[in-house]
Structure 1
Amino acid sequence: MEIYRDINNIPTHSATVLTIGSFDGIHRGHQEIINRTVNMAKGKQIKSIVVTFDPHPRHILKNSNSKLPIILDLENKLSMLKNLGVDATLVVKFTSEFSKISPEIFLEKVIRDNFHPQDLIIGYDHHFGFKRKGTPLFVKKFGENFGINVEIVDGVSDEGSVISSTRIREQIRDGYVRRANFELGWVYGFNAQVVRGAGRGQDLSFPTANFIPLDSNQLLPKEGVYFTRGRVIGKQLYGMCNLGIRPTFDEGEFVMEVHFFDFHNINLYSQNIRIEFLERIRDEIKFESRIDLINQLNEDKTQCLMLESKYY
């Protein structure tokens, strides 16, 4: 997949099928739009193009204290777009200056003049341009004026509600990662770096790797214990992860740590890993004794190992 990052230096295309969107989670609704774009382009034997924005517009248009936690970082977004069969992606650097560009200018000077789309595929709820005036109906009228077919794609519904990034964020924040994964169409997770911990897990016979997300604005699931899948030094490993303040030790500091099954005596400090949250097991608990904690950890591991066969 080709990647363009400069709107002033885009190779000219003679004909394309193109879609525009933040695609901040590439959830099942987004995938419907992208698959439609890719399949239509293949049918016409022309290139499929995705135009997306980084950072998320709300990181620029809102004050810094209300930044929208990200579901998917740019690196993984581009990887998913490639896997979906997209031929090329334009990553528009979203700035305060760019936010003032009218939708007319954006469509004419960036989209039409560079990509010459035969078809524009757009989600029913996507807005862009100055004051979000670039509505689906606006794009439809633009297409009529310039001989471009515009297709507006409806949302994908589940349990009577339209799947959305907002709803998925709420599910992850509330710990409903299994439901969120279903609506995403992929397992929620993020890339992280292993950092030095207190070493208590080793003393409990459950050695853990403490980690922090590579992106400080990463959306985090609710505190608790999770059945997880990790990618570590080229291997896929299952394990269990705790997010929280470890109340048994009365420290109060928020910590993220993972214990991988069947992975021993390897120092992961400073390594980059990926953590994916498969299912939430339980809330954090304050235990009365070290033995009570170890017994619960063994129960957690047994439960996770029983779940593991579902994900092979």
Structure 2
Amino acid sequence: MRTYKDINDFGGCPYPVVTVGTFDGLHIGHQKIIGRMREMAREHGGETVLITFDPHPRQVLNNNKGELRFISTQKRKFELLDHFGIDHMIVIPFTLEFSKTPSEVFVKDYIVDRIGAKKLIVGYDHHFGKNREGSYSQLRGLGEKHGFDVEEIAAQFVKDQAVSSTKIRKALAEGNVTLANRMLGYEYSITGVVANGNKLGRTIGFKTANIDVEDHFKLIAAGGVYACRVEIDGQLYNGMGNIGNRPTVGSDKVITEVHIFDFDRDIYGKEVTLFFIDRIRDERKFADLNELKQQLLVDEQRVRELLKID
């Protein structure tokens, strides 16, 4: 995938099949759009072009920026777009001034004049331009005017719910990673660097790696104990993750940590990724470390059963 941080660097391509959006999470609805783009590009000997924005528009327009959280970091989103087969990604700097661009002007200046779109593929709930005034019906009219075709992709459903980034964020905030994973089409994950902790876990036989998540806007799932897989240096391991403030030991900071099964390497300073499979239980306060240890033994057995580990 070729990436352009300045649209003026895009030198054109054969029969551009285009989409526009923020694509938080790259869920199964987004994947359906990309799949259709690739199909149309193959049919016409063309290439796919995806326009997205940095920072996310909500980071510029939302008054409560401290509460904003996203399923994907920008880095992860770009990795997924490459994985799903986009040919060209154009990242438009999103500013307050840019947000005032009328939808018709955006289409003419960017999609028509600078990209030369032949086909525009959008999701069922797509809106764009100043105050999100642009709609599918408007796009069809603009397509007729400027000579490009427009296609709308229908909603994708999981458990009778139309999939959206908003619903996935809600599921994660409730700790329902199984629903979130079905809507995403892959496992929700957290990536960070292993940092020094207080090393209490090793005193009860449950050494943990504390994960320092650098991106402040990354959405962390609800507190609790999770069945996880852990990627380290390209290798996958099984483990038991915990998100929370560890009330038994009196911490007030929310921490993401993981106990990796049958593993004893020093990984301080390494970047690791936790893939969340299922939530086992809420975080609880125990009377002492021994009571915590007994519960963790039960948790580990449950996780091993879920992950089908002997």
Contact 2:101 2:130 in 1 (8 A): yes
Structure 2 residue aligned with 1:294: 293
**Counterpart check, 1:191 vs 2:186:** no
Structure 1 unaligned residues grouped into runs of 5+: none
Contact 1:14–1:115 (Cα < 8 Å) also in 2: no
- Using the alignment, how far apart are the partners of 2:271 and 2:212 within structure 1? 10
Q: CA deviation at 1:105?
A: 2.1
Q: Does 1:111 align with 2:114?
A: no
Matched residue SS, 2:48 = strand
Question: What CA deviation, in whole Å up to 9, does each residue of 1:64-88 have, x standing for no partner?
Answer: 4355311011221122112212111
> Matches of 1:67 and 1:297 in 2, distance apart?
32
Hey, what does 1:217 align to over in structure 2? 217
2:101, 2:70 → 1: CA distance? 24
1:72 is paired with a residue whose SS is: coil
Counterpart mapping for 1:1-312 below 5 A: 1-65=1-65, 67-264=67-264, 266-309=265-308
Report deviation, 1:14.
4.4
Whether contact under 8 Å (2:15, 2:44) holds in the other structure is no
Q: Work out whether residues 15 and 115 of structure 1, in 8 Å CA contact, stay in contact via their aligned partners in 2.
A: no
CA distance in 2, matches of 1:32, 1:156: 8
Residue 174 to residue 263, structure 1, CA distance change in 2 (3 Å): same
Give the drift of 1:9.
2.5
Give, in whole Å, the separation in 1 of the partners of 2:128 and 2:65: 23
Shift of 1:209: 0.8
Q: Secondary structure at the match of 1:309?
A: coil
For the residues of structure 2 that align with 1:101 and 1:9, how far apart are their CA atoms? 21
Q: Once the two structures are superposed, what CA deviation does each residue of 1:199-235 show, in whole Å capped at 9, x if it has no partner?
A: 0011111111111212111111111101111111222
- Contiguous gaps of at least 5 residues in structure 2: none
1:14/1:116 contact within 8 Å kept: no
**TM-score if structure 2 supplies the norm length?**
0.95
Q: Distance in 2 between matches of 1:78 and 1:252?
A: 34
Q: Once superposed, what is the RMSD of the aligned Cα atoms?
A: 1.6
Secondary structure of 1:12 counterpart: coil
User: Conserved in 1, the CA contact under 8 Å of 2:13 and 2:46?
Assistant: no
